[in-house]
């Protein structure tokens, strides 16, 4: 059965990791600035960048990775180019969760 707790535990770290990497590589954010935007700590951003958090599992489907990566790229652009705040970032995760559920990747 589909549960938000499971998605948060499994998908949120990957999503944050991909957004953080995009912010730093494409938009020249510092780890501190990325952490502020994502509502986390600089240490967490460092762990995302060093693949200690938010790693892709070898058993994860390519379709799943594609959806999460596209969402991460889109939200990183919004974080970098608009006044998107931390709460709006959190809502973007809920939107991703809904998209994954509707695509039948999550059940």
Predicted confidence at residue 107, as pLDDT, reads: 59
Domain-located, residue 61: yes
For the chain, which ranges sit under pLDDT 70?
Answer: 1-3, 54-60, 106-107
* CA torsion through residues 11, 16, 17, 18, sign: positive
What pTM does this model have?
0.88
Indicate the DSSP class of residue 11: T
Predicted confidence at residue 57, as pLDDT, reads: 61
CA 83-27-57 angle, 5° bins: 100
Domain housing 51 = 4-102
Predicted confidence at residue 1, as pLDDT, reads: 46
Predicted confidence at residue 103, as pLDDT, reads: 84
Domain-located, residue 107: no
Are 75 and 24 spatial neighbours (Cβ–Cβ below 8 Å)? no
Token pair recorded at residue 96: 């991703």
Number of domains in the chain: 1
- Length of the chain measured in residues: 107
């Amino acid at each position: 059965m589909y549960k938000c707790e499971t998605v948060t535990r499994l998908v949120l770290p990957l999503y944050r990791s991909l957004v953080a990497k995009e912010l730093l590589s494409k938009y020249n954010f510092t780890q501190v600035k990325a952490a502020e935007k994502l509502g986390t700590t600089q240490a967490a951003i460092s762990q995302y960048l060093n693949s200690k958090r938010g790693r892709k599992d070898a058993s994860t489907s390519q379709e799943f990775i594609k959806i999460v990566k596209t969402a991460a790229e889109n939200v990183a652009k919004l974080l970098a180019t608009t006044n998107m705040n931390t709460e709006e970032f959190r809502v973007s995760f809920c939107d991703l969760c809904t998209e994954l559920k509707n695509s039948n990747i999550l059940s």
